Amino acid sequence: MSARDASSLLRAWLGVVVLGSCALTACTLGPDYARPKVDVPANFRFADTEVSQTASPAWWQQFNDPVLNDLIATALANNKDVKVAAARIDQFRAQFVETRSQLFPQVSAGFDAQRQRLPQSQASLLPRGVSPVSNSFDATLGVSWEIDLFGRIRRETESANASLLSSVEARRATILSLVASVASTYVTLRALDAQLDIAKATTESRKSSVDVFTLRFKGGEVSQMELAQSQSEYEASAATIPQLESQIGQTEDALSILLGQNPGSIARGRPIDQLEAPVLPAGLPSDLLERRPDVLEAEQNLVAANALIGAARALYFPQISLTGVLGTESAQLSNLFTGPTKFWNLAGSVAQPIFTAGNITGQVHQAEAQQQQALYTYEKTVQSAFQEVDDNLIGLQKSREQLGSQSRQVDALATYAHLARLRYEGGYTSYIEVLDAERSLFSAQLSLTQTRGTVLTSTINLYKAMGGAWVLDAETRTEQSAQASTEGAGDGASATPASPAAASGAAMPQ
């Protein structure tokens, strides 16, 4: 290449660089994102005065049950929904990288070798000594670049970035739901265990009564009606045992799936009446906009949809592309990079839509409609967040009141059943009064145990509804478990996916 050619090529590429620099500061079409205003109440409707002023990074540990802690750790490491959410982050991260790459020049290289022989009819026309067989070798370096003057690619990159961040929040929402589901399912399991213990103890006691009444009936001390009444109550309590055992088995299966395991038995820790409820988390309604992953996910979906409006509007304007080729061509491979074999080419193109029969307008209207859908979804998600917190606050308050009343009822019924038995043995009342007292006591004991589980479950659901920094702590535990699992698998294990928290660092700024 001559000095003059090199100078011309340099000036041309300097022009390209200047034009590209202008593109980076050019206008970007479409609306810039601003968080929509939502009606946020000053306080929760059923706010509780007994709240914790400091966030607990692992609130489930306040139950003081090592078995529950192990179950949650296992779920964070093995749950399939969490793994699916992590893989989805990898997908959107790759999509973001692919979209952002269009902002930069695309460089390619090629090599071509060709050998051909002219047809006999043409070869006969060649001068004597000229071979009809010829070789051709060429090597090229090509560059193409779309100058993003009107921001189409930048808006698409912004949308891809928001979709990536949305997938990160979706994974955190999955983790939030997982921890709450494991804890609440475990509480339900322990409540069913306690009910089963009550049913078995009551059935055993009634079995003893049936045996006594059978002997008394044979001795003529009681009537057949009283024996039948005793047998009826025994069978009634015995019938609850298989029902509770079925529920326990199904609950164990559900918990096993949450743990990422095949259905099987679940280890037990502290009984339901020894589990200590975590202190309630503090927070204001406005905090939910930053604490709940599902709200943040909905907002990022809105950001993504908002950016696509600008990308669609940019289609109205010209698309400017630059291409360049630098290469060398020779009939001899040994001379490919020597001698006067080099060539180069620069080209630019401008494509301006003139008539599209509504194609671009349709894309713009579609993007605007999708943005409206995302906006309404975001607003509904915020309202649902307020509702869930209020529902669990009132549910917790009233279940506590119910628990107190049922505890006193059980104590009263236990006294009633004891006195009724004494009155019957003393001949002051019929056996029907004893049966009524014992039947009421059995039912109240089952209800008390169920309500005790409801109080704990409402507390768990409140932590789920409030969100908070504990989700990030659980996410860190998940990543650490995944890292340890990968390292333990040896060299043949697949690489650990990048941390979702790093996604925001890799993404373009808003």
Answer yes or no: is pLDDT of 500 > 50.
Answer: no
Got the DSSP string for 478-505? HHHHHHHHHHHT-TTSPPPPPPGGGHHH
CB atoms within 10 A of CB 44: 18
For the chain, the structural domain boundaries read 44-104+149-316+366-506
Model pLDDT, residue 43: 72
The pLDDT value given to residue 123:
67
Question: Residue 10: is its pLDDT beyond 50?
Answer: no
Residue 446: which pLDDT band, with cuts at 50, 70 and 90? very high
Report the percentage of the chain scoring pLDDT > 70. 85
Q: What b-and-e string marks burial along 166-204, b requiring 16 or more CB atoms within 10 Å of the CB?
A: bbbbbbbbbbbbbbbbbbbbbbbbbbbbbbbebbeebbe
For residue 509, name the pLDDT band (cuts at 50, 70, 90).
Answer: very low
Give the tens place of pLDDT for each residue, 260-270.
999 999 999 99
Q: Letter for the amino acid at 379?
A: E
Q: What 8-state DSSP symbol labels residue 429?
A: S
- Burial label for 392, CB within 10 Å (0-12, 13-18, 19+), is buried
Q: How far apart are CA 309 and CA 312, in angstroms?
A: 5
Tokens of 66: 């090592």
Do residues 28 and 310 touch, judged by C-beta distance below 8 A?
yes
Measured distance CA(44)–CA(47) in Å, rounded: 5
Q: What string of DSSP letters covers 82-100?
A: HHHHHHHHHHHHHHHHHHH
pLDDT digits (tens, 9 = 90+) for 285-338: 778 788 899 999 999 999 999 999 999 998 898 988 888 888 787 777 666 677
Say yes or no to pLDDT of 186 above 80: yes
Under a CB-based contact definition with an 8 Å cutoff, are residues 211 and 176 in contact?
no
Write the single-letter amino acid at 265.
S
Q: What is the pLDDT of residue 74?
A: 93
Q: At what angle do helices 293-313 and 359-425 cross, to 10 degrees?
A: 170
Instruction: Tell me the pairing of strands 280-281 and 51-52.
Output: parallel
Which residue would you say has higher pLDDT here, 117 or 259? 259
Residue 29 to residue 363: CA distance in whole angstroms: 14
Instruction: Report the distance separating Cα 501 and Cα 484, nearest Å.
Output: 18
Q: Look at the alpha carbons of 160, 166, 172, 175 in this order and tell me if their dihedral is positive or negative.
A: negative
- Identify the sign of the CA torsion 287, 288, 291, 297: negative
pLDDT digits (tens, 9 = 90+) for 453-498: 999 999 999 999 888 888 888 888 888 776 776 666 555 444 434 4
Cβ–Cβ contacts within 10 Å for residue 363, how many? 18
The radius of gyration computed from the CA coordinates of the chain, to the nearest angstrom, equals 37
Q: Can you give the length of the chain in residues?
A: 510
Helix axes 152-218, 431-466, angle to 10 degrees: 170
Q: What are the Cα distances from residue 468, in Å, to 128, 135, 184, 350, 397?
A: 89, 70, 18, 51, 21
Torsion angles phi and psi, residue 311, rounded to 5: -65, -40
Q: Rounded CA gap, 184 and 180, in Å?
A: 6
Q: Classify 352 as helix, strand or coil.
A: coil
Cα 406 from Cα 390, distance rounded (Å): 24
> CA 431 → CA 199, 227, 344, 421, distances in Å?
21, 10, 110, 8
Does 499 have pLDDT greater than 60?
A: no
Alpha helices in 107-151 (DSSP H): 120-123
pLDDT tens digits, one per residue of 97-137: 999 998 899 889 988 888 887 777 676 677 776 777 778 88
- Cα dihedral angle (43, 46, 51, 56), rounded to 10 degrees? -80
Range in 9-13, 52-56, 89-93, 504-508 with the lowest mean pLDDT: 504-508
Q: Which CATH class is domain 44-104+149-316+366-506?
A: mainly alpha
Question: Residue 296: which H helix or E strand, with range?
Answer: helix 293-313
In DSSP terms, 144 is beta-bridged to: 106, 323
Q: Which pLDDT score is estimated for 486?
A: 62
Query: Which pair of structure tokens corresponds to residue 24?
Result: 């980076």
Cα distance between residue 80 and residue 478, in whole Å: 12
- d(C-alpha 388, C-alpha 295), whole Å: 13
Q: 406, 482, 506, 412: which is closest to 447 by C-alpha?
A: 406
* Cβ burial, residue 441 (10 Å; 0-12/13-18/19+): buried
What pLDDT does 493 receive? 42
Per-residue pLDDT at 356 exceeds 60: yes
